[in-house]
A and B are shown apart, each in its own frame.
Chain A
Amino acid sequence: MGKIHTRYGDGSPVELEESEVMRDLENGTQDAAERGNIAALSKEEIQHLFDIFSSPYRFVGVEPGKEIVLSYDGTPIKLSRTQVNVDRLQCLQIYEKLLGADTLEMGYLDYSFKPIKSMVTYEQPLMEQILSVTTAPIFYGAMPNLPLYTKPDGPFPNPAELLPQGKIEEAQASYEESVEHAVRDIVFVSSALYECGADAIILDTVGAAGDADYLASLKATEVLKEKYPEMCVELGMAGEFVLGMHGEMTYDGDLLAGMYPHQQVKVAEKSGVTIFGPVVNTNTNESSPWNVSRAITYMKACCEVANIPVHVNMGMGVGAMTVHDHPPLDMASRASKAMVEICRLDGL
């Protein structure tokens, strides 16, 4: 039996026996199936994953005909972080003309709706200019980022301080007030960008602050779709599981806390979301076969029940991608191929 070169969730290389890879693939899918109360991958699917991991090639890709659409979040930030000094207009031209991007995303460096609200009039002319020099659809993305509405950054008491003191009702009230303010900011900024021509809005990293964060995004989507029925809203999640920081928030009667991707997509559909971006977090202590198998189990269940396009998040640390700024191509390409080929995906 040969050894298979693979990775841990943090990207560090490891050589595993074939039996160890198979064991991790089986354990990964079982973990997701038990936590999410969903079906585990079949023997054929596990074998397909094993074949992908045991491929000797440094880079692999999907079979022709199975390609999917790519959407992005925080695109200009990627170039800023590498200190490539181009403005956002040039950044999007680079993605369109040089990186094979199917869609483009214009986001501000301070990637939250609240700070953008006060300077949105500077975002609008840039969006208009970018639309005039590009062909691919352009999304405008930002995060609801609910913690910005609590002290010391916002007007409401900080639930992180209230909860340890046992002030549950006060913390819940703070979240409820934050939701109303976040909805107003998301609608204000999204409307401003849509009215200067943006093709779509991305609400990104949704649920990072828990169920209140998710509720704000669903409510904002509902308002936006009422206002602009043709608007495309993509909702990308922050984690695989909606944290119950409030604990009792509901949307159309459904309790948000504890929802996994196959449940999240159904409430997203109800709110009017056009494209849903589910997330599964990468466990750095487990191997990549374990993470890929686990992530695909969740995503497959989500895609099976979805009636809208699903663009699985496969950025750093999610969707079985390694938690490192420089994802190894062997692992990233295997995760990409595996995710697309086993799930009925519409995009990444």
Chain B
Amino acid sequence: MGDPLGMAITHAVASGMGGMRAAGDLVARMQIARGMRIDEAKKYVADKLNVSFRDLTDPIIMNEVRDDLGLGILHPNVRSPKCMEAKFNIARLLDIEINCVNRFKQKASL
């Protein structure tokens, strides 16, 4: 509990990875998919994206990287992969199974 500024935003600014603004969602996916601890997950994602450890939380660098690789960005343009499309690319790039992507493929007979 606690209001979003006092709790969610405070932790995001003080300690968080920045979510889609940077690579927070990608590192989180490695904890979810492989149960990786934080350093292992960061290294895995950094290696896959060909960036440094520190770049993972840099919104300038990560926006460009995510845009180039089609991983979803905060301000997408018409041609940008978004949401489910971006998750297809994330699953392929990180070499992980994403539950909703697999179910989408199954339902769409892909």
A contact residues vs B (CB 8 Å cutoff):
59-62, 64-72, 74, 77-79, 81-82, 95-97, 99-103, 128, 131-138, 194-200, 230, 232, 274-275, 308-309, 314-317, 321, 324-329, 332-333, 336-337, 339-340, 344-348
Contacts and interface: CB of A to CB of B under 8 A. Distances in A.
B9 interface: yes
B62 interface: no
B106 to A, nearest CB: 10
Interface of B: 1-21, 24-25, 27-29, 31-33, 35-38, 41, 53-54, 56-57, 71-72, 74, 82-84, 86-87, 90, 97-100, 103-104
Contacts of B2: 78, 315-316, 321, 324-327
A68 B72 contact: no
Majority DSSP secondary structure for residues of A touching B? loop
A199 B98 contact: yes
A70 B3 CA distance: 16
A204 B54 CA distance: 32
20 contacts: A61-B14, A64-B54, A68-B38, A69-B27, A69-B41, A70-B12, A100-B16, A100-B18, A102-B27, A137-B29, A197-B100, A199-B32, A275-B32, A308-B37, A316-B1, A329-B5, A337-B15, A339-B15, A346-B31, A348-B15
Contacts of A103: 25, 28, 32
Contacts of B54: 64-65
Interface of B is mostly: helix
A69 B28 contact: yes
Given A68-B38, A199-B99, A101 B1 contact: no
B3 A326 contact: yes
B3 A78 contact: yes
B13 A102 contact: no
B68 to A, nearest CB: 16
Contact of B24 (A70, A197, A308): A70
Contacts of B71: 135
B14 A232 contact: no
B31 A99 contact: no
A336 B28 contact: no
Nearest to B56: A67
A333 B10 contact: yes
Nearest to A101: B19
B16 A316 contact: no
A68 B98 CA distance: 21
B84 A99 contact: no
Contacts of B82: 135
Nearest to B66: A135
Given A82-B3, A194-B99, A346 B38 contact: yes
B57 to A, nearest CB: 5
A2 B104 CA distance: 61
A136 B23 CA distance: 10
Contacts of A134: 83
Contact of B9 (A82, A99, A137, A314): A99
Given A131-B100, A275-B31, A136 B14 contact: no
Nearest to B101: A197
Nearest to B29: A137
A202 to B, nearest CB: 11
Most chain B beta-carbon neighbours within 10 Å: one of A70, A74, A95: A70
A67 B83 contact: no
Contact of A59 (B4, B13, B84, B87): B13
A95 B24 contact: no
A-B complex: 9 closest residue pairs judged by Cβ atoms: A197-B100, A102-B24, A327-B6, A100-B12, A135-B72, A316-B2, A136-B25, A336-B14, A346-B38
Contacts of A321: 2, 7
Contacts of A70: 8, 11-12, 15-17, 19, 24
Nearest to B17: A67
The residue among A69, A308, A309 with the most chain B CB atoms within 10 A of its own CB is A69
B74 A97 contact: yes
A79 B4 contact: yes
A200 B4 contact: no
